[in-house]
Amino acid sequence: MLRRSLSRRLRFLLICVVMLMTISFLISTFLIIRKEEQDFVSREAEGKLIALSGDIEKSFEGYTELSVLVMMEDSFQYFLRADQSDVDAGIINDAKRDIQTILSVTTGVDCVYVFRKDGTYVCTKGSLFEIVDPNYTEENWSRVVLDQRGKPIEYINGSGALRRINDQPFISIERAVYDMNNQHLSGYMMMLISGNVVEHSVMNSGNANTCVMGLNGSYIAGNSDLLELYSPKLSGHEVTQYITRLNGENVVVSGMRVGNKPMMMISVTPIRGVFFPEQTAMILLFLLAMIVFCFIMVGRFTYRNITHPINKLANSMEVGDDRDGLSTIDFPLPDNELGKLKDSYNSMIRKIRELFDELLAKEQSVQRAEMRVLQEQIKPHFLYNTIGTISALALESGSEEVSSALETMGRFYRNFLSKGDREITLEKEVTIVRDYLALQKLRYGEILQDEYSISQGVENCIVPKLILQPLVENSIYHGIRQKGEPGVIKISAFIEDEDLHISVYDNGVGMDKEAIAKLAKGGKNISGEENSFGLWGTIERVRYFSHRNNVVRIESEEGEFTRIELVMPVVRSSEGSGNV
């Protein structure tokens, strides 16, 4: 069932991938073709705008050169140079006639105005224009033009001094005129170019959807309907384009400035499938076929070399509920990644078996240790009754100290045997040790002292039961007593780095390095007493409780001291606790 499911999923995946690739191909082809069409239209529109800009600039360069010829005429210069009293109709007519002779080579110039500094002027066609300020003297001339020191400047519909009577658009080329002899300012010239000159250039460009306008959006030539598309963003020196929808169809809107002239152009080019990248489409189709073929080959290869062997491998990896159910794989596989997987699995099974055995051995060891503790204990009911009877007899005979000792021993064994719990609070554990040492001091007297340093907040921490009493017993019998001098036992507990640290210190005979190393590694019978539960059992129980090996730290110096520190995770009891 698993084999069929995996195979079906693989086939379903391949079909989905092929369908996704086909859809992606169709969408990509459509987008690529559309992008190519847009790019083609954009490049075509850009080329036409650049060509039109060059044509308009070339035309105005010719008119600029024509204005230079006008200024070089003798009658023109004499008109400007003559004294105001000498200027009469003859001088004005001579200048007008010579200017018209020069202008006869072109039809694009509507009119030429030449102003003297005193406001007297010559006009070649006064019927087309009128002067806004009749007294057009030097004070009224454009300061922008004067600052150019004779260089020409173009204005759309003039610089404000003139207006065309029929309001048709025109372009004025204005320049300050300087005397050829002394280079002093002598006059001001305006050459008024008809908007038809620009219209003629637009018609020659072959693009009817083009409009030439001033930088402020005023109409000059071309399709006036495009004035609504005016935007200062389209007046850059480089072609600016964007795609929009106009009159129900997608179009490319292009715009740029005409050189340094105060004019800009806007054109609209429809996107109507004028370009189809057939070669690109064929390449994409070939790639799609190759991808589909590759996926088919990958599917066959995956089934033969991965899916089918994995199904057999999975069937061989069925695990039972116990240790015997952990069997290795003896199914032959090729020497590749699957073969390595088989070897890794077999190695893992062997390791799990070892861990099984080790865990079972530890559990049995802890159980044996606890059984040995219980075997050394007396039946609780009989023990409590016997101690109570002896205590009552002691009181009747006047032996109060004996009675107190028996009460202490009774309390000790009640805590020692309390309900058979494996784990108790640190507070109860310390209480057991206190009672135990109280009984030992009855025997050893003043030579045995005990001190406690229990940090605030550790009393309700859970610890394995009876982990301190064996350490304290070891300190008495194998440390202080063998030294033959008064001794002290210090018990401390604190929390550090989220671990509970409990240490037992004695100033007894200490241990050598070999004994310390053996004990830290889990060696038995350090004291030499075969039947003693001793330190080894305590350390093993703490390791079992903590689920880690590094639970003991031993410091000792022969003849000086021994400190055994137990480290275990902090586990708190839900019940409250008083002071230890």
Percent of the chain with pLDDT strictly greater than 70: 78
Cα gap 323→357, rounded to integer Å: 9
Cα gap 284→278, rounded to integer Å: 10
Cα gap 181→115, rounded to integer Å: 19
Does residue 462 surpass a pLDDT of 90?
yes
- Token duo for residue 43: 């490049």
Q: What CATH number should be reported for the domain holding residue 456?
A: 3.30.565.10
- Asked if residue 461 lies in contact with residue 494, where contact means CB atoms within 8 angstroms, the answer is no
Higher pLDDT, 134 or 331: 134
Does residue 33 surpass a pLDDT of 60?
yes
Q: What CATH number should be reported for the domain holding residue 149?
A: 3.30.450.20
Residue 238, burial from CB neighbour count under 10 angstroms (0-12, 13-18, 19+): exposed
Asked whether residue 14 is domain-assigned, the answer is: yes
Task: Provide the domain limits for residue 32.
Answer: 9-288
Q: Which residues, including other chains, have CB under 8 Å from residue 304's CB and lie 6 or more apart? A: none
Report which of 128, 126, 141, 221 is spatially closest to residue 174, judged by C-alpha positions: 141
Q: φ, ψ for residue 167 (rounded to 5)?
A: 60, 20
pLDDT band at 421 (very low <50, low <70, confident <90, very high): low
pLDDT tens across 179-191, in order?
888 889 999 999 9
pLDDT band at 578 (very low <50, low <70, confident <90, very high): very low
Residue 325's pLDDT is what?
A: 59
Residue 400's pLDDT is what?
A: 67
Residue 564's pLDDT is what?
A: 94
pLDDT band at 113 (very low <50, low <70, confident <90, very high): very high
Asked whether residue 371 is domain-assigned, the answer is: no
Cα gap 252→242, rounded to integer Å: 6
The angle subtended at Cα 127 by Cα 125 and Cα 128, nearest 5°, is 80
Alpha helix positions (H), 114-216: 143-146, 195-205
Does residue 155 surpass a pLDDT of 70?
yes
Asked whether residue 350 is domain-assigned, the answer is: no
Residue 417's pLDDT is what?
A: 59
Mean pLDDT of the chain: 81
Q: What is the DSSP letter of 239?
A: -
Number of other residues whose CB lies within 10 A of the CB of residue 120: 18
Does residue 173 surpass a pLDDT of 80?
yes
Asked whether residue 293 is domain-assigned, the answer is: no
Residue 556, burial from CB neighbour count under 10 angstroms (0-12, 13-18, 19+): buried
**Sequential DSSP letters for 376-396:** TSPPHHHHHHHHHHHHHHHHH
- Asked if residue 418 lies in contact with residue 424, where contact means CB atoms within 8 angstroms, the answer is yes
Looking at 115-119, 157-161, 371-375, 561-565, which range is the least confident one?
371-375
Last residue of a domain, one of 254, 288, 322: 288
pLDDT tens across 480-539, in order?
988 888 899 999 999 998 899 999 999 999 988 888 888 777 655 444 443 344 677 888
Same domain, yes or no, for 107 and 254? yes
Asked whether residue 351 is domain-assigned, the answer is: no
pLDDT tens across 256-289, in order?
999 999 999 999 988 876 555 566 667 777 877 8
- Asked if residue 264 lies in contact with residue 235, where contact means CB atoms within 8 angstroms, the answer is yes
Q: φ, ψ for residue 350 (rounded to 5)?
A: -65, -40
- Helices and strands of the chain, counted as H and E runs: 15, 19
Mean pLDDT of 149-157: 92
Does residue 239 surpass a pLDDT of 80?
yes
Cα gap 75→91, rounded to integer Å: 7
Q: Which residue has the tokens 């009640």?
A: 414
Higher pLDDT, 411 or 65: 65
Asked whether residue 33 is domain-assigned, the answer is: yes
Last residue of a domain, one of 243, 266, 288: 288
pLDDT tens across 55-111, in order?
999 989 999 999 999 998 999 999 999 988 888 989 999 999 999 999 888 888 999
Last residue of a domain, one of 256, 288, 320: 288
Residue 440's pLDDT is what?
A: 83
Cα gap 556→554, rounded to integer Å: 7
Q: CA-CA distances (angstroms) from residue 499 to 96, 307, 492, 495?
A: 111, 49, 14, 6
pLDDT band at 199 (very low <50, low <70, confident <90, very high): very high
Residue 528's pLDDT is what?
A: 45
Domain count, the chain: 2
Cα gap 330→232, rounded to integer Å: 81
pLDDT band at 445 (very low <50, low <70, confident <90, very high): confident
- Asked if residue 143 lies in contact with residue 153, where contact means CB atoms within 8 angstroms, the answer is no
Report which of 166, 165, 168, 184 is spatially closest to residue 176, judged by C-alpha positions: 184
Residue 21's pLDDT is what?
A: 77
Cα gap 210→200, rounded to integer Å: 12
> pTM for the whole thing?
0.47
pLDDT tens across 341-384, in order?
777 777 887 787 777 777 777 776 666 666 555 544 444 544 55
- Asked if residue 567 lies in contact with residue 539, where contact means CB atoms within 8 angstroms, the answer is no
Q: CA-CA distances (angstroms) from residue 120 to 84, 146, 160, 187, 276?
A: 9, 18, 18, 10, 65
Higher pLDDT, 47 or 386: 47
If phi > 0 it is left, if psi is from -120 to 50 it is alpha, else beta; for residue 514 that is: alpha
Mean pLDDT of 298-327: 65
- Helix, strand, coil percent values for the chain (each to nearest 5): 50, 20, 30
Asked whether residue 138 is domain-assigned, the answer is: yes
Q: Which DSSP helix (H) or strand (E) runs through 246?
A: strand 240-246
Asked whether residue 376 is domain-assigned, the answer is: no
Does residue 45 surpass a pLDDT of 80?
yes
